[in-house]
Amino acid sequence: MAAAANHLIPEQGKFRRALAAFTTGLQALDYTSFDYTLDRIEYLEREVARLKDELGESREPNPGDDNRGGVVGLEH
């Protein structure tokens, strides 16, 4: 009888481990409002970095641009 009781303990442990793994998996799939907020902040940070790069590129002078052809060229 003692051998039969000892045999059930590993089976119960397997079920508990499987249930714990299943519960952990469900919790991992849960998308909370905190996760949403972090995702939005990350997206906005990437967007700001992209806009800064774009603004920096538009402010860089082109090598062919010089100011000699500006207002002085219209005086004819």
What span, in angstroms and rounded, lies between the C-alpha atoms of 62 and 26? 55
What span, in angstroms and rounded, lies between the C-alpha atoms of 76 and 74? 6
Does this model's pTM top 0.85? My answer is no
What span, in angstroms and rounded, lies between the C-alpha atoms of 58 and 3? 80
**What are the φ/ψ torsions at residue 61 (nearest 5 degrees)?**
-70, 145
Structure tokens at 69: 């052809």
Q: Where are the domains of the chain?
A: 31-60
Span 5-61, pLDDT tens digits: 555 555 668 888 888 888 888 887 888 889 899 999 999 999 999 999 999 888 877
Amino acid making up residue 4 = A
